[in-house]
Amino acid sequence: MNKLFDLTQKEQQRQQNSLNLIASENYPSPKTLELLGSVWNDKYAEGYPGKRYYAGNELSDKLEELVAQKALEVFSASKEYGVNVQVLSGSPANMMVYLSVLEPNDTVLSLDLASGGHLSHLHDTSNLLKFYRHETYQLKTEGEKFEIDIDDYKAKITKFKPRLVVIGFSSFPKKYEFEGLCEIAHQNGCLVLADIAHIAGLVAAGLHASPFMEGEKGADFVTTTTHKTLRGPRSALLFAKTQYMDAINKTVFPGTSGGPHLNQIAAVGQALMEVLGEDSYPDNIAFKHYIQAVLDNMHALEEGMLHGGLELVARSENHLSLVKLPETIDSLDIQNKLEKMQIITNRNAIANDQRSAWRPSGLRLGSTALTSRGLTTNQAKELGGIIAGAILGRVSDKAAANYARALAASLQWWY
């Protein structure tokens, strides 16, 4: 047997037979996967529509223009915005912004990593720190509060005078308003990048504030991946106010990239059409109703975990939850223990974390993938209780594994 196909079959079985609670993963539709492996893979299309360097790109032009149009429609982006659909994934999309508008030694301000920021927002491990300076703003976490510290945000902007402010996260369970944050930054002469990789589906469904606003209220640049709450392929979209689009496009090609991956672009287009209701996911549920179910399932999952004795960093207002583990519990050990039960999670830092990044104090869970498989709120609440019991030793490993196996078998599988 071909070992590659053998591994692929085993991975499909692993996914089907496990409970995926990774907040950054989801299951695209079969049509999306079909386009990802289609003949679009065979074509080189260096350049942009109407200005390609190879022949045979008449249909490539139509494809790219169609997907760009759908991307703008999905987010109801005002006429102030354009979009580049050639970026390959989220971190490179952020890098394209830096390379387009920053000069060496310019300062970037972003949310502290342990507080929910992302590695691509110029944190300590980034090679881009060879060229740019980096400062962070913090959260306010006293008592029941868990929110961006606006006073600290304003003070850091005043003190460091960043050229670019990044608003975005990878492990922040609350909602926030882009408008006020953008206005503060713009009034101080800063550009704004909104990274909505995690919440793009919520924004598209109208269930979270949008950074696509006119004037000072809107972000200058918006990046997103397409495989999380948008339920598409592994890819990205890069939006910018129209005055910056020429610089963005030149940075993507020929500045940093060669031919676009047309198969990715086509697959992104399919996912966007499903968001718009021009095609449908196999469950035939309207996208906004799917996202509402994602939120409902997260609330139910947290109810189950709280009832089971776990502590949350803060009650979730989106698709992800952050559990603050007891000090006596090692997060890596718990992640591995749950994986053996076919419950897939990831350990994660929390605000003011004193532990190492390899063994942080928290556990992150998301509801997007299981909601795509038809998880109900009753099932989510029960699952939360099982997870709490497994972590705190109140449910045996065997009982938790048997529960996870039975639940996975009862859920939809679309491939």
- 66-115: pLDDT as tens digits: 999 999 999 998 889 999 999 999 999 999 999 999 999 999 999 987 77
- The residue from 25, 46, 353, 382 that is catalytic is 46
Which CATH number characterizes residue 377's domain?
A: 3.90.1150.10
Q: Supply the pLDDT for residue 223.
A: 98
Q: Supply the pLDDT for residue 53.
A: 96
Asked if residue 249 and residue 323 are part of one domain, the reply reads no
Residues near 95 by beta carbon (within 8 Å), at least 6 away in sequence: 120, 128, 256
Region of poorest pLDDT, from 17-21, 175-179, 278-282, 410-414: 175-179
Q: Supply the pLDDT for residue 354.
A: 86
What is the mean pLDDT of the segment spanning 331-339?
97
Find the domain containing 232 and state its range: 30-276
Tell me if 63 sits within 8 A of 272, measured CB to CB: no
Asked if residue 299 and residue 218 are part of one domain, the reply reads no
- Please give the DSSP secondary-structure letter assigned to residue 189: T
Asked if residue 301 and residue 243 are part of one domain, the reply reads no
Domain boundary among 229, 249, 276: 276
Question: If pLDDT is split at 50, 70 and 90, which confidence band does 10 have?
Answer: very high
pLDDT digit string, tens, across residues 146-204: 899 999 999 999 999 999 999 998 888 999 889 999 999 999 999 999 999 999 999 99
Average pLDDT, the chain: 95
Active-site residue flag, 195: yes
Domain boundary among 276, 307, 342: 276
pLDDT digit string, tens, across residues 253-292: 999 999 999 999 999 999 999 999 999 999 999 999 999 9
Which helix (H) or strand (E) segment holds residue 297: the answer is helix 287-307
What is the mean pLDDT of the segment spanning 33-55?
98
Strand, helix or coil for residue 354: coil
Active-site residue flag, 54: no
Does 21 reside within a domain? no
- The residue from 225, 229, 345, 371 that is catalytic is 225
Active-site residue flag, 44: yes
Q: Supply the pLDDT for residue 116.
A: 75
Asked if residue 310 and residue 258 are part of one domain, the reply reads no
- The residue from 44, 154, 174, 376 that is catalytic is 44
Active-site residue flag, 415: no
Does 14 reside within a domain? no
Give dist(CA 300, CA 54) in Å, integer. Answer: 53
- The residue from 64, 112, 149, 195 that is catalytic is 195
Which CATH number characterizes residue 141's domain?
A: 3.40.640.10
Asked if residue 398 and residue 257 are part of one domain, the reply reads no
Does 37 reside within a domain? yes
Question: If pLDDT is split at 50, 70 and 90, which confidence band does 357 have?
Answer: confident
- The residue from 140, 161, 217, 234 that is catalytic is 234
What is the mean pLDDT of the segment spanning 126-131?
90
Active-site residue flag, 46: yes
Active-site residue flag, 228: yes
- The residue from 70, 156, 163, 228 that is catalytic is 228
Domain count, the chain: 2
Asked if residue 251 and residue 395 are part of one domain, the reply reads no
Pairing state of beta strands 362-366 and 320-324?
A: antiparallel
